[in-house]
Chain A
Amino acid sequence: MAKEKILVVDDEQDIIELIKYNLEMEGFRVSSAYNGEDALRLAKRELPDLLILDLMLPGMDGLEVCQVLKKESQTNHIPIIMLTAKTGEPDIVVGLELGADDYITKPFSMRELVARVKAVLRRGTKPGDVKEKLVFGNLVVDSANYRVTWKGSFLDLTPTEFKLFFFLVQRQGRVMTRQQILDGVLGDDAFVTDRTVDVHIRRLRMKLKGASSYIVTRRGIGYMFHADIAKEET
């Protein structure tokens, strides 16, 4: 099977060389661009399976590239992992809300980057492949019956908790900002804040017991469901 094609965009040649070398060692095909304009052109022409996009680019910056790609039907399914040298920046939240899937802050470890790449690629890139029963090792999520089982035993979740969990499961490999979770799950509630999301997640994790590590916290940004987490936590 031909390996996935990844487009890497960064204005630092050395960082491109670094990422390219490592991804190629993993068997991916890699192309690269040094600025936003070239990135757009290449993305449209090559339709890669994934984009690794630095946010700070000369001229057209990463967020703009992200916005354009997510707007066009031809490219809006391409998952995007943002690269940024700033932590806790509003840029990350903006990028995620524009539709980027994940982000990674410089300096990063190559192992971490490869893991994120695989996690994003693991979930189907094509929309509409939501199954009724999702199985992740010992975890089974049955959306038809609103049931979650962990190691064979049924977990007692309230409807809101199930909704929250299922929201993240459906978007596995994608970081959801607190705002996105609010809008998608808890929106009807009148008195919700960012803190409310944290409280709900904490309660959900308690009930998930051993399966709670499937939910990953991205400090200051949001949460994501990571299917491979058990394998990667060493």
Chain B
Amino acid sequence: MPNLKIVWKLFLTQTSLIIISLLTIGLYAGLSFKEHYLIACVVMLAVLLAVLISLGIGFMAARRMGKTLTQMTQAARKMVRGDFSELIRTDSKDEIGDLARSFNAMSIELQNKIETLTKEIDEKQAILSGMIEGVIAIDRNQRIILFNSASEGMFGVSSYRALGRFHWEVIRHSRLNPLFQEVLETGVPKMEELILRYGGERILRVQAAAIPTKKGNPWAVVAVFHDITQIRNLEKIRKEFVANVSHELRTPLTSIKGFVETLRNGAVNDPEKSLRFLEIIEKHTERLNRLITDLLNLSQIERGKIEMDLKPVNLVDVTSRVISNFKETADQKGQKIKANIPPVLPHVLADEERMETVMENLLDNAVKYTPNNGEITVSAFEKDDGVQVEVADTGIGIPTNSLPRIFERFYRVDKARSRELGGTGLGLSIVKHIIETHGGKVRAESEVGKGSRFIFNLPKSPLL
């Protein structure tokens, strides 16, 4: 017990001081030895008594102090481990009591501070990991200090493996690694587009900025990665579409312009040639006209549901009407159109005009791509959740490798043939668009030389 030692030292110094002082006082006062002796004895006694009493008090105080100190040590040790549950119990009014109470206050204060901080960190962590953007930070030594979960997905590395390592160890990229370095050195923020080959080609836009210290030199770089693959792909599709449209428009225009010029340059004097060239011009004018109509249709449908005139539609009426419109063309080719349609069908919620467009396009193809004397069958029936319509033919069919592509805009199995037959390559893409904006599905089955079957489903009208 170290505190007992203190008490003992205290007592010794105290006693010896008193004796020395008494002796000194006595000598100066010129007392006799006897008197001296008596006083000395009394004083000694008193001192002894005092010492005994103070020793007792001191011992008790020391014991209490020691207990409090031990408690405080223990509590402090727990605090280091993050446990703030222990408070020091004390009711003494002395310095030790004060100390214990300040200790308690400090402990509570610390606990609050730490809780607030932890909460803040947790919130930031949650935000970072909830972000779809990848966030990566590196420190001054180019080691990764932050790697959120979106970057885990983008770069295929877990944050556990990335943290603490050099960025070039974790992500090897000819543009990204120099970018980190440059921003760290210059402190100037930078934006760049990167192509990433991990897990299929992705296009990322990275924005990197330095975080400066108070003195202004960078101590870290934070990079935010946006995946812009989809935006770029859409742009690409748009560009391709525009290029395709321009090509499709230029081709008939070339014939029209060329033959008009040819006629003017003298061919007009050759009656036989004139007639032929005029027929060609007429054919291409019609083709241009169809193309423009289809393009307008397509752009209207692409504007989506807003422009649709949705009503409960009876598909029995629509199909019969369209079939009768095609009777004449089919007759000319010696083709039969059979209708396999029940007298009543559940209504579907649809834009009637657009449903007609769908049937027209499917029948037009069936008639076009079926040789003379072939057969076309239109069937419709109720399904558990809607209505199914099928247009089947005994025509030329579609090769298996083309089948997945026929609904693409401008895709044709045989371009020259489609053009000769007056096609635009847009019919099926219009069909698909219309069916899908109605919440339905369309697909095709085919066998080359045997025939094709186009099938679409539409959900029942919820109103009936």
| Chain A interface residues (CB < 8 Å from chain B) | 11-15, 17-19, 21-22, 25, 34, 56, 58, 85-86, 89, 105-111
Contacts and interface: CB of A to CB of B under 8 A. Distances in A.
A17 B276 CA distance: 11
Contacts, number: 70
Interface in B407-464: 414-416, 419-420
Contacts of B283: 14
A17 B280 contact: yes
A25 B419 CA distance: 27
B416 A34 contact: yes
Contacts of A109: 257-258, 261
Contact of A106 (B243, B250, B284, B420): B250
B335 to A, nearest CB: 26
B410 to A, nearest CB: 12
Contacts of B420: 13
B263 to A, nearest CB: 11
A16 to B, nearest CB: 10
Contact of A107 (B243, B250, B262, B266): B250
B253 interface: yes
29 contacts: A12-B254, A12-B255, A12-B416, A12-B419, A14-B283, A14-B284, A17-B280, A18-B258, A21-B262, A21-B273, A22-B258, A22-B262, A25-B265, A34-B416, A58-B414, A58-B416, A85-B254, A86-B243, A86-B246, A105-B250, A106-B250, A106-B254, A107-B253, A107-B257, A107-B258, A108-B254, A108-B257, A109-B261, A110-B265
Main secondary structure of the interface of B (DSSP, over half): helix
Contact of B255 (A14, A25, A56): A14
Give the bracket for the number of chain B residues in contact with chain A: 20 to 34
A134 B162 CA distance: 69
A111 to B, nearest CB: 7
Contacts of A19: 258
B247 interface: yes
B156 to A, nearest CB: 33
Contacts of A58: 414-416
Given A14-B283, A14-B284, 7 more contacts: A12-B251, A12-B419, A18-B255, A19-B258, A22-B258, A85-B250, A107-B258
Contact of A110 (B250, B253, B262, B414): B262
Contacts of B381: none
A22 B261 CA distance: 10
A13 B251 CA distance: 11
